[in-house]
Amino acid sequence: MAIDNDTLVRNFVDAFAEKKVELLEPFLDEHVVFHNYGDREVHGRDEVLEVWRGVFQNFETVRFETVNQAVNGSIVLAEQVHGLGLAGKQVATIMNMAVYQIHDGKIKAWRDYTNPEYARTLL
pTM of the model: 0.91
Q: Are 9 and 69 in contact (CB under 8 A)?
A: yes
- 6-32 pLDDT per residue, tens: 999 999 999 999 999 999 999 999 999
How sure is the predictor about 115, in pLDDT bands with cuts at 50, 70 and 90?
Answer: confident
Which contiguous run of DSSP H or E holds residue 93? strand 92-103
DSSP category for residue 91: P
Domain ranges of the chain: 5-122
CA-derived radius of gyration, the chain: 14
Phi, psi for residue 27 in degrees, rounded to 5 = -85, -20
CATH number (3.50.40.10, 3.40.50.1970, 3.10.20.90, 3.10.450.50) of 5-122 reads: 3.10.450.50
Give residue 5's Cα distance to chain centre.
15
pLDDT in tens, 76-112: 999 999 998 888 888 889 999 999 999 999 999 999 9
CA dist., res. 8 & res. 59, Å (int):
25
